[in-house]
Chains A and B, each alone.
Chain A
Amino acid sequence: MFLALKEIRHEKLRYGLIIGMIVLVTYLVFVLSGLAYGLAQQNTQAISSWDASRVALDKDANDSISQSLITSTTANKVAMTKHEAYLGQAGVVAKAKGQAKLSAQFLGISRQQFIYQTVKVTHGHKPVKANQIMVDDSFKDNGYALGDKVTLNSTSGQYTIVGFTHNAKMSVAPVVYGSLGTWRTLSHVTSNYKANGIVSNDANFSAQHGLSTLSMSQFINKLPGYSAQNTTFTFMIAFLMIIAMVVIAVFLYILTMQKLPNYAVLRAQGIPAKVLVTTTISQALLLVVGGLVIGTALTLATVLALPAGVPMSFNLPLLGGVTAGILLTGVIGALIPVKIILNVDPVSVIGG
């Protein structure tokens, strides 16, 4: 550590540039991870808030709720308990007088069922009449307020916002909770259709009668774009980590090669190879930790500066995983030149 610190202090520009590079890689990985997690959350926030385990959809709907329609005849054959709830879903454009249009996901639910009871109100109250709706907090951020009369799509009816709920997003759009009757109106279906799906918080729930039952992870993966988006981000982050490892390894390799004459002298003087290896690894760790700290600070500053609409979100396991990954990358990069250090030939610095 003594040699590592002394060298960094003496070669400020050189090591500053390396730390700068690690900062940029860290920043990019953190921001991409934050965006990936934020977008993933905005796809599933509403669903996660119900603590549900299973979803039953029409067996011909290709596991997609927007393609599923459950007739009343089929629905009546399913034994509904307090653990099950009907769910109607429709994409809508919400508009109130003097406010901007907002694209949203309308979710029709029944007041007697568990989803309605699970959803938490942050302001106002839950809808109790057919023409009442409860909306995600992001409506409030866009200027909407309790009591606003909202039109949904091109239907003639008006719906009053009676409550706000927090973190209610689905498919990266704010959710509008309303009745199943409103869902039918928005979906242009008759009362012959009960809902798009049946959601259950019973892990053993299994619907028959022409319905297929999915776990929540299967259901979420079939949300439009969710799987493709996550795969894209995962590949971007993985490639970035690999590139970071190669770049850090190349930098450390070049640095080590430049130091070999000094290492040869130290080896000639009896300094154990272990000391030189420890120096190289501890120096790599110092550089990576320095880069991580600055990169994290830069990410936090970015998060504070970004508008609320940018879907960036972090959680500790995610940040911990990314941090450990970058640290590991640095250690692997530092280990590559170890063999060269162990084989450094002191004779090379003593003339003939």
Chain B
Amino acid sequence: MPALTLTNVNKKFGHATNEVIVLHDISFEASAGEVSLVLGPSGSGKSTFLTIAGGIQTPTSGSVVVENKTLQELSGKDRDALRLNQIGFILQAYNLVPYLTVKDQFKLVDRVKPQGNLNAAELADLLDQLGIGQLVNQFPAELSGGQTQRVAIARALYQNPDIILADEPTAALDSDRVKVVGQLLRDLAKQHNKAIVVVTHDLRLQEFADKTYMIMDGKMTVA
């Protein structure tokens, strides 16, 4: 049973002559234990795909099922709860709250979701693995772009979600760090049975993916 299923999803913006079709009849599955890579250039619709998969946007038609729940049938509150408990987002920008230290970014998660997060030892392991264990008392403004990206990844993984949706998670990283992040995502999929979906134009991640898709002009194909 796939953790995430999109069936015949279309997304249109605007009306009549201004209508733009961003996603065209997308069907997609992501299963636990797999890393799915969705490649595409800027403006291809890959971020729209990600927001629809995560229940942030609704499709114009088609259905999105996460852990056996059809997102369109859930209330806004229930979609919030689903994102908080079962989906971890790794976003490109503004990922961290600027007035919280790295340590407090995780405390914030504890406050809204007291159970089911990583324990202290698991968090320490994760931070060491990402090479940011010594940065726990720093504010985001004191971090480099790569460090910020890695803290954002740790932040998303901390809530121990079943599905991880990552938007360009390696955009600010050098090749060595890309390998670390790629291997981490792969380990999470294999060892912790997570479903990982990464949208990116970074081909360096291809070696860590089980399945690779291409999005071009709103249409998805298997690469």
Contact = CB atoms under 8 A, between A and B. Distances in A.
Interface of A: 2-3, 6-7, 9-11, 261-262, 264-273, 275, 346-347, 349-352
B57 interface: yes
Interface residues of B, number: 39
A352 B20 CA distance: 13
A8 to B, nearest CB: 9
A11 B100 CA distance: 11
A177 to B, nearest CB: 65
Interface in B89-104: 89, 91-100, 104
28 contacts: A2-B108, A3-B97, A6-B99, A6-B100, A9-B99, A10-B139, A262-B94, A264-B94, A265-B96, A268-B89, A270-B80, A270-B81, A270-B82, A270-B83, A270-B85, A270-B87, A271-B112, A272-B80, A347-B51, A347-B56, A347-B57, A349-B93, A349-B94, A350-B47, A350-B50, A350-B51, A350-B91, A350-B167
Contact of B56 (A6, A9, A268): A268
A352 B108 contact: no
Interface of B: 42-43, 45, 47-48, 50-51, 54, 56-57, 77, 80-85, 87-89, 91-100, 104, 107-108, 111-112, 139, 156, 167-168
Contacts of B96: 265
Contact of A272 (B50, B77, B93, B100): B77
A157 B48 CA distance: 98
A270 B84 contact: yes
Nearest to B42: A352
B221 to A, nearest CB: 19
Given A3-B108, A272-B80, A275-B112, A265 B95 contact: yes
Contacts of A351: 42, 47, 92-93, 167-168
A269 B111 CA distance: 14
Nearest to A272: B80
A292 to B, nearest CB: 24
B54 A268 contact: yes
Contacts of A275: 111-112
Given A2-B111, A265-B91, A269-B89, 17 more contacts: A6-B99, A7-B99, A10-B100, A10-B139, A261-B93, A262-B98, A267-B80, A269-B84, A269-B156, A270-B81, A271-B80, A271-B112, A272-B77, A275-B111, A346-B56, A350-B50, A352-B48
